[in-house]
Amino acid sequence: MHNNINESLLKFASNKKNESIESAHYISTTKLYWKRFFSKKSNIFALAFFGIVLLTFLIMLAFVKYSPTKPLSNINFVRNLPIAANSIVIRSFEKGKELDFIREIANLENLDSSQIFQIFYDSALDSGGELTVTSDIVFLQYNPYDFLKALSKYTDLKLNIRPLILGSNANGIDIYSRTLISMLYTFSVILIAIFINLFIGFSLGALYSLNSNKWYTKLIDSVANILNAIPEVIWIFVFSIFIGTNWWQILITLILCSWTQFYEISKHEINELKSEEFILASESIGLNKIQIVYRHLFKLVLPSLIILIGSRLSTLILCLSSLAFLEFLSETNNLNIGTIFKEALSSLTINPFYIVTTTILIIGFCASLKLFYNALSATYNPQI
């Protein structure tokens, strides 16, 4: 019996071209994160702003020439030098040796063909002066930097001092060097302390959340509650009295009393996350608590901790500044930003650029860092 069989079914299948299917490429989580980060213009602005501020600060550091703690010279004439952009000043002097000495240098310069220094105005000698000849106070208008050059000509002093960008303070210390180096020290200490506090706070928060019935976790929580009950600035004052106010002592103080906010955030968020299915699944496949905490929970809590970094920076700057205003920091060689603020305020009428420059640098750095960390956090967890 002959069956009608379709002969095409007996042939080998020919190689057909597969329809073009877009091959899926594996993208690492890191690349995916940065791709998402740069997809928002606000994130690009935050990164650019932070980069510009940081680059500007590093470039400014490259121009630091003088010591931030030692005076330019032991003589009084290097004190309160003006800024380089406006080096001609009017200063008041009592009649005496200092005034006579400046006039003597000016007279010697008047006889020199290569004159460097001159007194532009002398209220006791020039007609129309503000004060009469019999007054004990005399006003001179002159260039202090030219006077220092002339002083080097007629004495053994070698004062190779170029006009200073921000002048000098009442102790004869270069303000530019002092401001930048103190900011570098202060921000470095604070940021190191913040990241250590972040790790300590998260670790203790995770320890409490996963072992809340243990006696040692109750002790940790009690210590945190005690620290939170009193303003942080008071704790910093207390610890500074007993530990000290050098940079490494300040670092220890901040580590001891500034971890509680990271602890509270970590504790509450881990309490909400520990009953999630992926945590239970991780336990079922044999992961121990340490692996679960640092492999899974840390990534989920990190965005909230990153946001806190910006606000902590501003808070700790305020706390450290308070140490100087309350006379906890009185040494000239203590490079704390509070010392700089106090000096700048005291010389506001003489050199307003001191406080203006310091304020702009601090606000710029804090604002840019906060925007950048907020952008990082929002990209990591868009729900925040």
pLDDT (tens, 9 = 90+) of the chain, 384 residues, equals 555 555 555 555 555 555 444 444 556 677 888 888 899 999 999 999 999 999 999 999 999 999 999 999 989 999 999 999 999 999 988 888 999 999 999 999 988 878 899 999 988 876 554 544 556 788 899 999 999 999 988 888 888 889 999 999 999 999 999 999 999 999 999 999 999 999 999 999 999 998 888 899 999 999 999 999 999 989 998 898 888 888 888 999 999 999 999 999 999 999 888 877 777 787 778 778 888 888 888 988 988 898 888 888 888 988 888 887 776 665 656 778 888 888 899 889 899 999 999 999 999 998 998 899 888 888 877 665
Beta-bridge partners for 140: 91, 122
Q: What is the pLDDT of residue 12?
A: 54
pTM, two decimal places = 0.82
CA nearest neighbour of 377 among 313, 294, 300, 321? 300
Q: Is 274 exposed, middle or buried (CB count within 10 Å of its CB: 0-12, 13-18, 19+)?
A: middle
Cα separation of 167 and 84, whole Å?
Answer: 7
Q: 207 is written with which tokens?
A: 């320890």
Q: 162 is written with which tokens?
A: 């170029």
For 207, the enclosing helix (H) or strand (E) is helix 175-210
Long-range contacts formed by 325-330: CB under 8 A, 24+ apart: 326/237, 328/237, 328/240, 328/241, 328/245, 329/245
CA nearest neighbour of 329 among 64, 74, 116, 69? 69
Q: What is the pLDDT of residue 330?
A: 55
* Residue 214 phi, psi dihedral angles, 5° rounding: -80, 150
Identify the structural domains of the chain with CATH numbers, from first to last: 88-154 (no CATH), 175-380 (1.10.3720.10)
Q: What is the pLDDT of residue 127?
A: 54
What are the CA-CA distances from residue 247 to residues 177, 199, 219, 322 (Å)? 18, 21, 30, 15
In one-letter notation, the amino acid at residue 180 is: L
Q: What is the pLDDT of residue 310?
A: 81
Cα separation of 362 and 1, whole Å?
Answer: 100
Q: Are 65 and 177 in contact (CB under 8 A)?
A: yes
Cα separation of 355 and 382, whole Å?
Answer: 39
Q: Is 167 helix (H, G, I), strand (E, B) or coil?
A: coil
Q: What is the pLDDT of residue 105?
A: 92
Q: 251 is written with which tokens?
A: 């670092």
CA nearest neighbour of 251 among 322, 192, 332, 335? 192
Q: 49 is written with which tokens?
A: 């702003």
Q: What is the pLDDT of residue 9?
A: 52
Q: What is the pLDDT of residue 131?
A: 47
Q: Are 245 and 324 in contact (CB under 8 A)?
A: no
